[in-house]
Structure 1
Amino acid sequence: MTLIFFIISLSCLALGTFFTLYQFFSHNFVLPEIYTKNLSDNFLLRYNPIYVFSGIFILMIYICVTTFIIYHSFEKTQAPDIVFFLLFLVACLCDTSRLMVPMFQVSGSFSLFMLRIGNITLFARLLAPLALMGNTVMITDDFRQSTDRNCIILIIVSMFFAELIPLNTAIVLPNFCISYGYEKAIRWFCFLTCLVSTIALFQTNKKNEYKQIMTLGFILLCIGYSLIFYCFNIANLAAGIIFLGGGTYLYLNEVHKHYLWID
């Protein structure tokens, strides 16, 4: 399953790179008109579409590299931690669908295709924190036997609300995301979900007398993903790469040590 997802993510990276370069070199590349209210003029925080593209492609590369590491290091491990982390990577891959907004020049007019891009992006925005929550809350003995079912439930819940929450296809946000309703509520939902997940992981490690390096990695991972999602300036891009990469390394390295110890 991990190998299949690696092939899919690698294919998405190749296709995204090909179509983007094709549009650019054929001079058909048109940037979408974005919502520019409250954007900073500071050099580090200034909007630049190059950083949006960089963030999306870095996320694609991150998915491919991380999936390969999981396949190589956890090939024989059917642990709930890894299953939920792969679900998080699925959410990350869905998030990169934002690239299709400038790639296919669908902004500025209502279309079913643009609506679906918005649904997929919103689905990813909801699924990512839920998958990370499953990674910390749903790995106890009570949930261990129903990991697949819990993953399906999280996917269905995310799909349901992604279809239910209204989209405004007339507005494209600076990160090439279609504007959606209840934005502040969704931000709070993501923050609180990650906070609860962090507390749960901290308590689990404390109970089992593990080092809190895994918790630190998890916190950095959550911050890094959020920065990459909202990446449209050099500050977010640089910090997002450091936090996401460093957090993932610390977290997966500690998980790997844990299962080596069990074996």
Structure 2
Amino acid sequence: MTLKTRNQFIKTFLFASLAIVALNLITFLFALKFGTILTPPDFRIPAFLSHIPFAKPSFIALMISFAVIILYVPFCFFLLIRYFENTQTSEIIFFTGFLFACLAETARFVTICLGLWQSFSNILIFMGNVVLFGRTLAPLSFLCAALLSETVQRQDIERNYIIMTTVSVVFAAVIPMNTARISSTGLVTEGFMSLINIMRFLLLATTVISFFIQGIKKNSSEHKILALSAFITLLGYSMLVSCDSFFFLISGTLALLAGSYRYLLCLHKMYMWS
């Protein structure tokens, strides 16, 4: 992928993300006018959160978390255009996959604003599939950045990106949705939830380990920083997408912003002279 093609790809994603921000704003205003916003049930995941004094559930915190995630995406795309326009790095392409995954959380936002979680419709199932797609793509994007960003693999980056996205789509399509169990964050719970959470943890662990191994092989401290930054970013992301309290809202926002900033800064320093 040439620099010109990559930059055009990122700019297209920037405009698409801004359009999604506008659509979500319109949906929210519509929901306010017609009173269709319905607070999700108090089913918290994991259940022990209900016993933590400083993690009391808050619908306001949940709604603010959507704003943080949705606005975070175009802001990051702007940074990619501003600071990586002339930087040849595959990691940036895979990072756009993570940003795309963040946008998938708008499906939960629409589910809450339009009160869809009270139904058992195909639309609700589709919204659950969209969220599952995003939550699969997010860790997979960093894993691909760790494993598939070598110079010899840059010719295959389009193929690898398509494979990464396709795997996420297929996984989201085959996992059944349990529309009878809606979490406090408006999430349509998945079947085999414990197995899926274990898989996400393994993806996260494999990503961090892969960056560390790259750092050891290349005697590069930057890759070790990437490992830590990727972990903090995904930790913040996980907190925000599971946010139903101000504790997770504040912690998740700080972790997501700090991790992303450190990750992108490290990539910029690694490749700015390349």
TM-score bracket for the superposition, by shorter chain length: over 0.9
User: Partner of 2:153 in structure 1?
Assistant: 143
By how many angstroms is 1:184 displaced? 1.3
Q: How does 1:66-215 map to 2 (within 5 A)?
A: 66-211=76-221, 212-215=224-227
Q: Would you say 1:236 and 2:248 are equivalent positions?
A: yes
What pairs up with 1:12-31 in 2 under 5 angstroms?
12-31=20-39
Letter in 1 for 2:193: E
1:33·1:108 contact (CA, 8 Å) conserved in 2? no
Contact 2:36 2:114 in 1 (8 A): no
Counterpart residue identity of residue 207, structure 2: S
From the two aligned structures, give the one with the greater helix fraction.
Answer: 2
Deviations 1:212-257 (A, max 9, x none): 3332212211211111111111111111011110000001001011
Secondary structure, in 3 states, of the residue corresponding to 2:178? strand
The equivalent residue for 1:7 is 15
TM-score scaled by length of structure 2? 0.90
Shift of 1:145: 2.0
Could you tell me which amino acid in structure 1 is paired with residue 18 of structure 2? L
Offset from partner CA, 1:178-219 (integer Å, 9 cap, x none)? 111111111111111111111111121233333233322122
The amino acid of 1:7's aligned partner reads F
Q: Distance in 2 between matches of 1:178 and 1:10?
A: 26
- Aligned residues with identical type, % of pairs: 29
13-22 vs 107-116, which deviates more?
Answer: 13-22
2:5 aligned residue: none
Query: Who is 2:257 aligned against?
Result: 245
Farther off after superposition, 12-21 or 236-245: 12-21
- Cα distance in structure 1, aligned partners of 2:146 and 2:185: 29
Partner of 2:268: 256
| Aligned residue identity for 1:114 | L
Higher mean displacement: 72-81 or 86-95: 72-81
State the distance in 2 between where 1:214 and 1:163 align. Answer: 31
TM-score (norm. length: structure 1): 0.93
Aligned to 2:4: none
Write the letter of the residue equivalent to 1:111: S
